[in-house]
Structure formats: C-alpha cells, structure tokens
Amino acid sequence: MARRSQLLDRRTLWISVLGIALGIVSAFVAYALTALIGLITNVAFYGHISSALVSPANNRLGLWVIAVPVIGGLIVGAMARWGSKAIRGHGIPEAMEQILRNESRIPPRITWLKPVSSAIVIGTGGPFGAEGPIIATGGALGSLLGQFIRVTADERKILLAAGAAAGMAAIFAAPISAVLLAIELLLFERRARSLIPVSLAVVTATSIRYGLVGKEAFFAMSPIAIPGIAALATYTLLGALLGVAGVAITKLTYGIEDLFEKLPIHWMWWPALGGLVVGVVGYIEPQTLGVGYDNIAAVLNGHLALGALIALCLLKLLSWSVALGSGTSGGTLAPLFTIGGALGGVIGLMLSGWFPWLDLDPRIAALVGMAALFAGASRAFLASVVFAFETTLQPHGLLPLLGGCTAAYLVSGLLMRNTIMSEKIIRRGVRVPSDYSVDYLDRVTVGELCSRHVVTLVDTQLVSDVREWLDEGSAEALHQGFPVRKTGQGVIGMVTRKDLLNSHIPPDSCIGDLVRRAPLTVQENHSAREAADHMVEADVGRLIVVANDNSGDVVGIVTRGDLLAAHSQRLKEARQVARHLSTSFHSRTDIAS
C-alpha cells in the first residue's frame, strides 16, 4: 500500500532541536563577526585596538585612505586563490547553488574563510554590510552540522537555511523577515517541516541578540504618521520606479563583473583593483566606506540634505558595484538599503517641495525606497516589506511598504528574468525556482484519475485461454496490466500484457505462476502524488486501486499515463483560460476603437 504523506513526523522534532543549537551558535558567531569587523576597522583607519563597530568616515589618513581597501583586496584575493574560491561574491547565491546542485553540502573551510575574508574587506573600508557574510557563514554552519550528523539532503537544506536565517536575525533583530528570506531565497518551499526548525533557530538567535546587544530597533526612527490616499499612491509609484532601478543596478553589477572577466590578469588581483576604486571614492566621500548602517539611519530620519543624499546614492553605487563585480567577499543587503533609501529620500524631498498637497513624508519615501530597491533586485518581496518594518518598528510604514514593494516586484518581474541573487548561478547552468505553488498531483485523488473498467484474471486460468481472449481485441483486453485474484483471498498480484505474450511462457501455465510480487495497491483517496511516489519507489508503471473501506476490493488501475494525463488536463485548462482572456481583451479593444 502507498504510504500516506505526513505533515510532520518525529524527525521534525530532532531537526528542530538542531535548529535551536544552530540559532545559539549563529548568534554568537554574528556577534564575533561584528567585533572582528570593528577591530579591523579601528586598526586600519584609527591605529588603535578596539572591537567597537565604528565608521571609517572620520579617519584622518588623507590620501593614504586609498591604500587601505587595496591592501584588504590583496589579502582576500590571496585567501580566495590559496584558500577557497567559494569565498568570492556575496554569499547568498553561493548558498543557493549548493542547495540546488550539491545537496546543501558546503565545504567545511568556508565556515571560517568566509567570515574572516569578509571582515577583512569590510574592516578595510569595503562598502558592504555584515549581514551577507553572516548569512553565508550561518548557512555553512548548518550545512557542516548536516554533514557530521546523519540526515537527508532535504534536512541538510533545512539546517543550512536555519543557520543562515539565524545569522540574519542576530544581526538585525528581524526574525520574521529572516524566516521569509529563507523561504524566498533558500528553502524554495513553504512546508511545516521546514518552517518549524528555521523559525525556532531564528527565535533563539534573536533572543540571544537581545541579551548581547539590546532590544532597540536597528534603524530607530522618530514616529511617522498614517499616509493619506495621495501620498500612498505616490509611494506605490515610487516603488515602481525603484523596481526599474533594481533592474538597472542588477544589470550594472553583472556588466562590471563581465568587464573584470576580460582583464588580462589573474582574478586574484581583481579585488585589489576594486579596492582601489573603493579607496578613491572613499577619499571623495568617506561616508561610502564600511558597513554604512549609520548612513541608513541618517537617511531614514531625514538628517541628510538633498545634495548629501544624491552624493551618497551615486558614490555608494559606484563603490559597491565595482567592488562586488571584482569578486571580493561582500554582501548586497546593506548597500542596496543605503542606495535605495538615499534614492527614495531624494525623490521624496523633491516631490514634497514641488507638490506640497501630496503631503509626502521624505522619511517614508526613504523607507519605501530602501525596501523596494531590494525587492526589485532580489524579488525577496515579503522579506523586504517585513524587514523594513522590523528594523524601524514603524507600523504606519507597513502600508506604504506593501504598495511600494509590490510595485517594485511587478516591474522587476516584467523587465528582468533573473535577479541579483540568481543571475550568477543561472549563468553556471543552475536552474533556480522562482514560483512556489502546491503540487497539482497533491490536489488530485487517485479515484479521480484511475481507469475503473478493469478486468481481473483468476490464478487458475491457463495462459493459452487468456492469450485467445487478448487476440479477440475487445476493449477490456487492450489494458497493459491485469490484477490477478485468488478465490477466497482477493488480489494476489498483477501480470502485464508483456508477461502474457512472452513466448517463453508455456501455454499450459497458470496465470498465478506469472505473479512475481505481492500486489502494489493504492486507495482511492490517496493523492496522485502519493501514487507517483509509490510507483517510483517500487519501479512499476501501474498500481491497483482498492476501495477506501480496507476491504481490498479492486476498483481500478492507475498508471503513469494517468498521472501525465492529469497534468495535461491542467495545462489544457490553463491554455483555454488564457485564450479566453486574450479574446475578451481584443474584443473590448475593438469596441473601444
């Protein structure tokens, strides 16, 4: 009998315990990583030893500031060449690739190479945030745990996602958006057996973060008012504009990466060249150096004038895109938040001055810009909305965020096939799922698909008699498989048409002698997915369908062809709906003209 699929099982409890352990470890690793970034920043820019996370913007190095990111790039290039090439990039695409192609197996050395290399890059002025590296490190820890403990590839994926989400939550105190990010970029599903361990890991990491750092909003804002209808419509249109910007920035970033690929020097030296650009831009505008969390807070609170916002937006984009394109070790979240927030703030300030009747708040425009740019570039739509809320704790910002991120998501989906997270690995031949829907076969029962006009054979029948019946060519004789029953015992197995016509089988043999295995059955109320799984596990092409009352009465047969026919019907119905909508649209257009 086919196994019933279960919502949860005891393994979920065990993986949840491991998820909690990952939450604890990831929280302390996140704390240690930020301290290491602070230490390197203080040594590189201020010449003293301290683990406090400070901005490099206040340094007094003069022109020597240009050399600091170059040195960081040289070190990371050497680490990538002689340590692991996998430390290059912003972490999330690499984790996605391991999930989709390598059963979530990340090399153990990445658990220390990635955070150390990222700390060196960021600490020497790299325009990245700490969240990307800690997401990659947390994911590597989860994968490492899943390689040391006997788990399935699916469970290892859950542990990887749990570690990554816990790392993000420990940095930003944004637990719900961390779970959503895991769903949208790492899990590629929404199942209870995945959500529970990831959520418990995130809750654990956030609780520890509260104890180590505090409970305040990461980007604290003064209270914002409920927007009016005109303002809400404007924020939504702003989101659409940021969606276009997200597409442009994605293409820019990978265009720069392609240019680096054409350089006649080894890729080991590329991060140093990227560091040179970072240093020059940092000399012109010191605020572009480092993680820039203070810049985001200043943008969201309206502390920067229009000129400062424009400079921060353009120069941060230049510095970050070149650095990321050079293949150094960094991230995307904080830079995109900075660029999007500054761009949203610029547009908000300009519109509020030109059209005061819109009653726009430039701070809300910056908030929407921050989230919408990330939503457009990554299409982590729900994570973007909730992240902006959790890091500011401004409930009145939720509606503008929802409108703006939805518009950005729509525009991005129309203009760009891949995302800033998936483009790199899709170029390597990895297929990345983008839409998650319920399996159609899970929604259909076997009783709806099976053939019910089934002829059963008796075990005492002679093969010669059955062959004569097959030669008659009746409709019932055209089936490819026939259940065999034994008087007083019900069905004992199945024989195929190929078995019956095998010339090596003596004509005087009994049908019962051809039965080689116990009957493989499925009940009418089993799902088509459960039937398909049973076929794959048993390596058969058909199953006997029995009644739901456990009587064992045969009611039909379901074949692989029946399962394919179900998909065919679904596609046919979808095409009919599409043709109907297209015809209706053209009819209305003709009438209007």
pLDDT of residue 591: 53
Q: Which residues contact 459 (CB under 8 A, 6 or more apart)?
A: 484, 485, 486, 487, 492, 510, 511, 512, 515
401 or 434, greater pLDDT: 401
Residue-level pLDDT at 119: 87
pLDDT at residue 407 is higher than 90? yes
How many CB atoms sit inside 10 A of residue 439's CB? 11
The answer, yes or no, to whether residue 395 has pLDDT greater than 60, is yes
Task: Decide which of 105 and 42 is more confident.
Answer: 42
**Using an 8 Å Cβ cutoff, are 533 and 446 in contact?**
no
Residue 273's alpha-carbon distances to 162, 316, 322, in angstroms, are: 35, 17, 9
Q: 10 Å Cβ neighbour count for 105?
A: 16
3-state secondary structure at position 480: coil
Q: How far does CA 93 lie from the centroid of its chain?
A: 9
**pLDDT band at 138; cut points 50, 70, 90:** confident
pLDDT tens profile 177-202: 999 998 888 888 888 888 999 999 99
Split at pLDDT 50, 70, 90, the class of 475 is low
In this chain, the answer to whether the domains covering 10-212 and 229-427 adopt an identical fold is yes
CATH number for the domain formed by residue range(s) 229-427: 1.10.3080.10
- In this predicted structure, the answer to whether residue 484 has a pLDDT above a threshold of 70 is yes
Q: Name the percent of the chain lying above pLDDT 90.
A: 34
Question: Cβ-count burial of 326 within 10 angstroms (0-12 exposed, 13-18 middle, 19+ buried)?
Answer: buried
Q: Does domain 440-566 have CATH number 3.40.50.620?
A: no
Dist CA 146 CA 104 (whole Å)? 9
State which fold the 10-212 domain adopts.
Clc chloride channel (1.10.3080)
Greater model confidence, 487 or 470: 470
CA distances in angstroms from 367 to 164, 225, 390, 523, 570, listed in the order given:
25, 13, 12, 54, 42
For residue 267, give the amino acid letter.
W
Domains of the chain, by residue range, sit at 10-212, 229-427, 440-566
* Residue 480: pLDDT band with limits 50, 70, 90: confident
CB 47 within 8 A of CB 32: no
pLDDT digits (tens, 9 = 90+) for 507-545: 888 888 888 877 888 888 888 888 888 888 888 888 888
Instruction: Note the pLDDT tens digit of each residue in 251-277.
Output: 999 899 889 989 899 989 989 999 999
Average confidence (pLDDT) over 232-249: 95
- Show Cβ contacts of residue 281 under 8 Å, excluding neighbours closer than 6 positions: 288, 315, 318, 319
How far apart CA 271 and CA 442 sit, in angstroms, is 48
**Is the distance from CB of 523 to CB of 546 less than 8 angstroms?**
yes
| Spatial separation of the C-alpha atoms in residues 92 and 133, rounded to whole Å | 9
Tokens coding 200: 């418990």
Helix, strand, coil abundance in the chain, percent, nearest 5: 65, 5, 25
Between CA 409 and CA 380, with CA 217 as vertex, the angle to 5 degrees is 20
Q: CB atoms < 10 A from the CB of 245, how many?
A: 25
Residues 52-99 have pLDDT tens digits of: 888 888 888 889 999 999 999 999 889 888 887 777 766 677 777 777
Burial status of residue 191 (CB atoms within 10 A of its CB: 0-12, 13-18, 19 or more): middle
Distance (Å, whole) CA 371 – CA 380: 10
Sign of CA dihedral 71, 81, 318, 256: positive
Place of tokens 């969390």: 293
pLDDT at 585 over 50: no
Query: How confident is residue 487, by pLDDT bands cut at 50, 70 and 90?
Result: confident
pLDDT digits (tens, 9 = 90+) for 411-455: 999 998 888 888 777 877 777 777 777 777 888 888 888 888 777
Report d(CA 407, CA 567) in Å as an integer.
32
